[in-house]
Structure 1
Amino acid sequence: MHYPSIFNDAIGPVMRGASSSHVAAAHRIGALARDYMNGDFHTVLIEYDPNGSLEPTHESQGSDMGLFTALMGWDVTDERMTEAGRYLEESGCSVEIRITDYGATHENTYKLTLESDVDKVCMIAISTGGGMIEVIEINGIKLSMFGDYHETLIFSEDETLVDGQNADYILKRQRVIQVKGQDFVTVPDGIEVRTMAPVLPIGARKTMMVPFVDTTSMLAFNEDKNLSLWELALKYESARGNISEEIVFEKMRDIVRILDHSIDQGIKGTTYEDRIYPAQAPKYKEKTGANNFLNLGLHNDVILAVTALMDVKSSMGVIVAAPTAGSCGTLPGTCLGVANALNMDEDQKVKAMLAAGLIGVFIAHMATFSAEIGGCQAETGSGSGMAAAALVTLFDGTLDQSIGAASMALQNTFGLVCDPVANRVEAPCLGKNVLMAGNALSAANMALAGFDPLIPLDEVIIAMHQVGQSIPCELRCTGKGGLAMTPTGQKIFKQMNN
């Protein structure tokens, strides 16, 4: 079973770009393809299916850019990302992008073909939300690869080539033997073997077990332990990643420091040519002290932090997809906006973000973070539920209050559509991040006041996923409905795509 990870699925990756489903996922797919070819190729063909969501958004939301950056061998935070395509062509590569009806069955399907003088790979992969991927086909052979294992592919019909005791997770798909893990594999000369390194920060292993997978099993696990949500997050991620709880805590501290730096950067102001909005956070900061401005208290601090993070994202600065780049303001802006305004210490921030991450694990396990599958409720909606639990943790609420806050916040997000204007993750994305931050503030206070969420969190997550799948595809990040199709939205599209 593929168990979600806090740092793989819910909070991360650290990245540049507008969309984790586009930039980060594409980067991971490109990195695997480059690894397969050992970095040796001179021809690149990228194909998008016209029936998917990437056909209208691959350029404006950064899929091409993410692939190019990975194919250059650069990190997803490399500041040269916007010019990666030019660098790739200048290196001698022939690059072509086609729209091809190849029968893609998933909204976010990538088909990437790399070729050298002596070798070739055709990889089909899907982006599942928040930068997570699954490679589903290599050179016409079906398989399943999430990027969290060292993978050895042995192209032979003779599965006895591999010692089953050392490679007990052998998956035979037509004529490929897929060996997960770092087991030493010896095969006869003449048998084609390829190895690929993991692209996710937290690796997997064959004997992986987790203590729980949803709130129901978590509460059963905690029955005789009386742990808080952030402590349970440590237990989960430690077991999931086979790392110590101390390492988990410090990894989240690194995330918090990146986010605080991004918020500061956004408040100071950002510049970038290819964006709809100019920098908004400095204007908001200036206005908060004016007499003709509503005194919303902590809510104003949250709006400022959310806006700052969205500004940094739109200017190609470094952000953390939490859970996605399109919703990068909701959770961290709410949590850190409140914590910083109240001068809370860094450990409190880390605990709150860990609590949020565990709620994200449950969402990833039972639903999706992909707007292409579930609309904006899957992105900013999920972020709002995670943020509500984080806020309760900041104020030392109980485990039940944290879960209840997440449930109430998620209940309020059902049906939230994704209709980005001009295929940029700016409008109405900024407003929806701010809206869902306010929703988290309200849900947290309601939970701390003892409001009953009525519907258990697990049931809410499942229902949210069902609602998201029923949203028309035009309103799931395709730019083919809602505000994107208004006369003004179409005018902006033409201006941005001249």
Structure 2
Amino acid sequence: MTKLPSSIFNEVIGPVMTGPSSSHTAAPTRIGNLSGQLAGGTLSRVEITFETNGSFATTYRGQKSDQGLAAGLLGMLPQDSRLSDALSLVRDEGIDLKFLVKDFEAEHPNVVLLDIQDEKGGRVFVKALSTGGGRIELNEINGCPVYMAGDYHELVIMLSEHPAFSMEQLCSKVESKLAKGKVQVHGSSVSDNSQKGEKWRGVIVIHSRQRLSPECLEDVKQLCGSAELRQVAPVMPVLASARCEVPFTRAEEMLSWCVEHDNAPLWKAAVTYEAARGNVDESEVVTMMEYLAGKMEEAITTGLTGDFSMRGFLMPTASGLQHAVKERSFIPTGMLDAATVMAVAVMELNSSMGCVVAAPTAGSCGVLPAAVFSALDALGVPDDCRMEVAAKALLSAGLIGVFISEQSTFATEVCGCQAECGSAASMAAGALVNMAGGSAQAACDAAAVAMQNSLGLTCDPVAEQVEVPCIGRNVSAVSNAVTSANLAMHGFKGNLPFDDVICAMWEVGNSMSDTLRCTGKGGLCTTPSGVKIKEEVDRIRFAS
């Protein structure tokens, strides 16, 4: 199945989630959810394996991947407030859940294997990976290659013996049966495992934008004989579509489109893009983004209270910083005073496993809300249109993020923190230019400058907690965004087009040592003080 162009809501801004990590908490929750739906009944035992040299092996406890997977297996989604208690809830359900670290061949740092057994003794084996920012892929079911991204209603047919006709013929017959039931098929895949001598002969996956009725499912069961059927519900907010034709996927293409459409602003290009990507009305796109803007504002407000306990080794400080600003004891920096406090507030809430919006990741979730909401105040935007202005700014940021997603990655495990805080700075710079009335060209120039300023940024969180240096880097990224926006709107362009800078980020990231890409094996993590902090965090964690 061909990978679709990135969606602003699936790949860039979102999910609304329980912290602290989009790739290590939210994505595992989605993986667990999809995998659990493949089981034939109530779960009894689950064995989850991480690859020895991958990112999960050293960070799955500190970044709550274990809790995310457990939550997903219980049917939760990333925004579920019960996620922080998921391991206890799994035990209460009588599920034997084990985590292992072993050597196996893994094509990506974030691969996870799941061996799931239900109460009747049925088993299903799943191979999946987290690709950054909460995105996921299921790559194998029972040893059969598949592609599931959680953005369709999937009918999964698992065959343990040869069908009366070829698997391709069976797939065709099932699709015909679905068509008679008025179910529109948006693609399918057939994976034949019969030559390997395995129990499972093959897997058929059929994609749709609607769930099958019980009557339709029963008709398919009659056709498939002894095969096991599963209906798997999507976990992404925007469904995929076989008829997906977006107007552009590169910044250069978008800028030409804007010129052809009466010098359309960046936010308008974003609305047009996302409506085409999701096969939805443009008004629905704006409404969805206004909802996310509201969630970001809620995260700022909650983070400023400091009424929570961070799960690492720091204490909340945002309320104290806000008091310092009010008392004018901050070195004055204009809107950056408020932006600094907001970025810290959101990131501290994220560390406490509070509710945040990944933008584009949870590790950089403080940058965009801090930039946008501090700018609303600095620009004197009236209360009755704050959400509209915020939504347009976030749509602009989302489109900048699409270009990054299409040509590089948000996965710090692949390209370091430049892919997280660097991308967030670029997105925020584009948003600020839009808010200030700048052109789409100026927004792309600002995004390019911000990313140039971030190249080579490592990912080395101390004790695997999204606290140090993550909170400080969010604050720095906001400052980067503001200054880059001002430069680009008033003549400084940085000379290099945004697409070129994105490709440079990809090249730089892939040349980094894996010790500097969220493995806890280098940089600040291995300083004497970093090691000491980790030992203390581990002592407390294992004691509890």
Superposition TM-score, scaled by structure 2 size: 0.89
Instruction: Report if aligned partners of 2:171, 2:190 keep a CA contact under 8 Å in 1.
Output: no
Secondary structure of 1:358's aligned partner: helix
Partner of 1:55: 57
Partner of 2:13: 11
**Which whole-Å deviations, capped at 9, do the CAs of 1:35-74 have from their partners, x for residues lacking one?**
1125521001111111101101001101111011111223
Q: Is residue 2:236 matched to residue 1:200?
A: yes
Give the Cα–Cα distance (whole angstroms) in 2 for the partners of residues 291 and 334 of structure 1. 20
**Which whole-Å deviations, capped at 9, do the CAs of 1:149-185 have from their partners, x for residues lacking one?**
1122233552111336754733222232222224868
**Which whole-Å deviations, capped at 9, do the CAs of 1:268-308 have from their partners, x for residues lacking one?**
21321522211111111111144543111111111011111
Partner of 2:73: 71
Partner of 1:329: 366
Instruction: Report if aligned partners of 2:54, 2:111 keep a CA contact under 8 Å in 1.
Output: yes
Greater fraction of residues in helix: 2
CA shift in 2, pair 1:285/1:188, >3 Å: closer
Q: Tell me the amino acid that sits aligned with residue 366 of structure 2.
A: G
Give the Cα–Cα distance (whole angstroms) in 1 for the partners of residues 105 and 489 of structure 2. 49
Q: Is residue 2:431 matched to residue 1:413?
A: no
Instruction: Report if aligned partners of 1:230, 1:351 keep a CA contact under 8 Å in 2.
Output: yes
Partner of 2:136: 133
1:440 offset after TM fit, Å? 0.4
Instruction: Report if aligned partners of 2:33, 2:77 keep a CA contact under 8 Å in 1.
Output: no
Out of 159, 170, 177, the residue aligned to residue 161 of structure 1 is 170
Q: Is residue 2:503 matched to residue 1:465?
A: no
Q: Is residue 2:283 matched to residue 1:265?
A: no
Give the Cα–Cα distance (whole angstroms) in 2 for the partners of residues 177 and 291 of structure 1. 64
Partner of 1:217: 253
1:490 offset after TM fit, Å? 0.6
CA shift in 2, pair 1:131/1:168, >3 Å: closer
Q: Is residue 2:104 matched to residue 1:102?
A: yes
**Which whole-Å deviations, capped at 9, do the CAs of 1:314-345 have from their partners, x for residues lacking one?**
11111000000000011221122221344422
Partner of 1:191: 227
Instruction: Report if aligned partners of 2:30, 2:77 keep a CA contact under 8 Å in 1.
Output: no
Q: State the Cα RMSD in Å.
A: 1.6
Structure 2 residue runs of 5 or longer lacking an equivalent are: 160-165, 180-184, 193-201, 540-544
Partner of 1:310: 347
**Which whole-Å deviations, capped at 9, do the CAs of 1:210-262 have from their partners, x for residues lacking one?**
11111122233333212110001000110111111111101100111111111
Partner of 2:430: 389
Partner of 2:314: 277
Instruction: Report if aligned partners of 1:359, 1:386 keep a CA contact under 8 Å in 2.
Output: yes
Partner of 2:33: 31
Structure 1 residue runs of 5 or longer lacking an equivalent are: none
Secondary structure of 1:361's aligned partner: helix
CA shift in 2, pair 1:304/1:381, >3 Å: same
Secondary structure of 1:222's aligned partner: helix
Q: Tell me the amino acid that sits aligned with residue 338 of structure 2.
A: D
Partner of 1:178: 205
Give the Cα–Cα distance (whole angstroms) in 1 for the partners of residues 366 and 246 of structure 2. 29
1:78 offset after TM fit, Å? 2.5
Give the Cα–Cα distance (whole angstroms) in 1 for the partners of residues 416 and 447 of structure 2. 18
CA shift in 2, pair 1:96/1:235, >3 Å: same
CA shift in 2, pair 1:458/1:421, >3 Å: same
| Aligned positions of 1:481-496 closer than 5 A | 481-496=522-537
Q: Is residue 2:150 matched to residue 1:147?
A: yes
Instruction: Report if aligned partners of 1:107, 1:372 keep a CA contact under 8 Å in 2.
Output: yes
CA shift in 2, pair 1:168/1:318, >3 Å: closer
Partner of 2:163: none
Instruction: Report if aligned partners of 1:133, 1:146 keep a CA contact under 8 Å in 2.
Output: yes
Out of 519, 525, 540, the residue aligned to residue 478 of structure 1 is 519
1:193 offset after TM fit, Å? 2.5
Give the Cα–Cα distance (whole angstroms) in 1 for the partners of residues 413 and 320 of structure 2. 32
Give the Cα–Cα distance (whole angstroms) in 1 for the partners of residues 500 and 352 of structure 2. 38
153-162 vs 111-120, which moves further: 153-162
CA shift in 2, pair 1:217/1:293, >3 Å: closer
Secondary structure of 2:121's aligned partner: coil
Give the Cα–Cα distance (whole angstroms) in 1 for the partners of residues 387 and 332 of structure 2. 27
Give the Cα–Cα distance (whole angstroms) in 1 for the partners of residues 41 and 234 of structure 2. 15
Out of 113, 120, 123, the residue aligned to residue 120 of structure 1 is 123
Give the Cα–Cα distance (whole angstroms) in 2 for the partners of residues 292 and 273 of structure 1. 26
CA shift in 2, pair 1:99/1:352, >3 Å: same
431-440 vs 80-89, which moves further: 80-89
Give the Cα–Cα distance (whole angstroms) in 1 for the partners of residues 129 and 270 of structure 2. 28
Instruction: Report if aligned partners of 1:380, 1:432 keep a CA contact under 8 Å in 2.
Output: yes
Give the Cα–Cα distance (whole angstroms) in 1 for the partners of residues 514 and 396 of structure 2. 32
**Which whole-Å deviations, capped at 9, do the CAs of 1:102-157 have from their partners, x for residues lacking one?**
22221001111210123111111010000001111111111111111112223355
Instruction: Report if aligned partners of 1:301, 1:341 keep a CA contact under 8 Å in 2.
Output: no
Q: Tell me the amino acid that sits aligned with residue 198 of structure 1.
A: P
Instruction: Report if aligned partners of 1:46, 1:113 keep a CA contact under 8 Å in 2.
Output: yes
Partner of 1:377: 418
414-423 vs 142-151, which moves further: 142-151
What count of residue pairs does the alignment treat as equivalent?
A: 498
Give the Cα–Cα distance (whole angstroms) in 2 for the partners of residues 328 and 78 of structure 1. 18
Q: Tell me the amino acid that sits aligned with residue 402 of structure 1.
A: A
| Aligned positions of 1:334-353 closer than 5 A | 334-344=371-381, 345-353=386-394
Give the Cα–Cα distance (whole angstroms) in 2 for the partners of residues 23 and 401 of structure 1. 35
Out of 68, 81, 84, the residue aligned to residue 82 of structure 1 is 84
Instruction: Report if aligned partners of 1:375, 1:468 keep a CA contact under 8 Å in 2.
Output: yes
Give the Cα–Cα distance (whole angstroms) in 2 for the partners of residues 426 and 14 of structure 1. 19
Superposition TM-score, scaled by structure 1 size: 0.97
Give the Cα–Cα distance (whole angstroms) in 2 for the partners of residues 316 and 274 of structure 1. 7
Q: Tell me the amino acid that sits aligned with residue 159 of structure 1.
A: E
